[in-house]
Amino acid sequence: MIVALTGGTGFLGKLIFKKLKQNNIVVQNFDVRNQSNLNYFLKTIKRGRFDFVINSAANLSPKTDWDFNINQNLSQKIQNSISDCKTKLLHISTINITNKKFNDSYTNTKRVAESKLIKNDKLLILRPSLIIDKNFNISNSFFEKYTNLPFKYLPMIYPGSIYFPILDSCLADFIVSQIKRSKISNDTYNIIGKKEYKFWEIFNNFCEIKNKKALKINLNVFSKLKNKKVLNLFYKNSILQNLIQLKRFKFCPNSGKFIKL
């Protein structure tokens, strides 16, 4: 079994790569962050020496034309390149596309990507919910969606439905099982975790674990919030208070800023 992987340096891609290796599956990671690399990748897989291509490459907050091109068109280009051989495609999407209320740029690009794919017996689509690791690490995009602030120091992972997050190792194990099974037939899986969480529950678990370590986050970003109601919401929230205490910051309602104690 030989597998080609895109996005192998990302949060999920690294784990997929590791799990495939552990199961004695030959895997080659391809960098598709520029046109030259993309052309080389498409030319290589066209030769038909791979049993599977796993596309986990994605830009979580697409802004440039290239970002949108990768999110919307890469799987279609892969499918076109392998159309004359037996290579199968595993396309990783997001469960958010099943709900119309999710219309962020990432989800919308994944909707477009799926609409461009030809449904056949060489295609497997996975739609995971929010992917977390054992330490409840959560994504920049997850926080940005709810706070509209750039969190630069948190791990990058796939955004998805926050209600039933799935553990990254469970998802990677499932992907490996599908590769080993080999036989697919235009399958689509909506994948969620076993337990429901609310936004602040995930945040709380994350903070409790990080309390034991150095939490690299600059709480002064909250000072940039101009809406007093939003500031007061954060100020009154007990979970955020844990963060404030951890970093020895105190919120000053009058100035609307965090001050160091």
Residues 152 and 256 in one domain: no
Residues 184 and 246 in one domain: no
Residues 17 and 130 in one domain: yes
Residues 138 and 48 in one domain: yes
Smallest CA-to-CA distance from 3 within 157, 11, 12, 23 is with 23
Residues 130 and 238 in one domain: no
Predicted confidence (pLDDT) per residue in 92-129, tens digit: 999 889 888 788 888 999 999 999 999 999 999 999 98
Find the distance separating the first CA and the last CA of the chain, reported in whole Å: 58
With 80 as the cut, is the pLDDT of residue 14 above it? yes
Residues 69 and 118 in one domain: yes
Residues 187 and 244 in one domain: no
Residues 181 and 237 in one domain: no
Total Cβ atoms within 10 A of residue 21: 11
Residues 166 and 227 in one domain: no
Residue 92 is part of which domain span? 2-191
Q: At residue 127, what are phi and psi to the nearest 5 degrees?
A: -120, 85
Predicted confidence (pLDDT) per residue in 175-210, tens digit: 999 999 887 878 899 988 887 766 656 666 665 655
Structure tokens at 153: 């120091």
Predicted confidence (pLDDT) per residue in 22-54, tens digit: 999 999 999 999 999 999 999 999 999 999 999
Residues 176 and 233 in one domain: no
With 90 as the cut, is the pLDDT of residue 155 above it? no
Q: Which residues contact 135 (CB under 8 A, 6 or more apart)?
A: 206, 209, 210
Residues 183 and 236 in one domain: no
Assigned domain for 210 exists: no
Q: How many CA atoms lie within 13 A of 177 on its CB side?
A: 7
- Number of domains the chain contains: 2
Assigned domain for 31 exists: yes
Q: Looking at residue 104, which CATH number applies to its domain?
A: 3.40.50.720
